[in-house]
């Protein structure tokens, strides 16, 4: 009976060590991905512009060169918020 308890304790210890090892490894991977210079934005470019300048869109995006790609929250970038208003009036309308 005593040998069975020792084996069970060894099994529990190995499982705990395995879980801790996995958690430590996951932490190290996340730390590397979010801090390594290899994953920094080196160049930003915008295409398809007709009404705004590229620097206006990049300023609105909220991040710049050197930002880690895994730290960019894509759902918080809103470059569709440029408002355009037409200043034309209908032909034949009279000013009151």
The domain locations on the chain are 1-35, 40-78
pLDDT digits (tens, 9 = 90+) for 62-74: 778 888 888 887 7
Three-point CA angle 66, 70, 64, nearest 5°:
30
**pLDDT value of residue 80:** 65
Cα separation, 96 vs 86, in Å, equals 20
What separation in angstroms does the CA of 64 have from each of 31, 82, 87? 21, 19, 34
Per-residue pLDDT band at 43 (split at 50, 70, 90): confident
């Amino acid at each position: 009976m005593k040998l069975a308890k020792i084996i069970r304790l060894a099994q529990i210890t190995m499982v705990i060590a395995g879980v801790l090892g996995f958690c430590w490894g996951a932490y190290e991977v996340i730390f590397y991905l979010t801090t390594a210079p290899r994953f920094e934005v080196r160049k930003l470019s915008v295409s398809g512009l007709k009404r705004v300048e590229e620097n206006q869109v990049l300023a609105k995006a909220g991040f710049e060169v050197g930002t880690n790609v895994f730290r960019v929250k894509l759902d918080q970038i809103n470059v569709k918020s440029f408002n355009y208003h037409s200043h034309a009036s209908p032909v034949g309308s009279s000013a009151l």
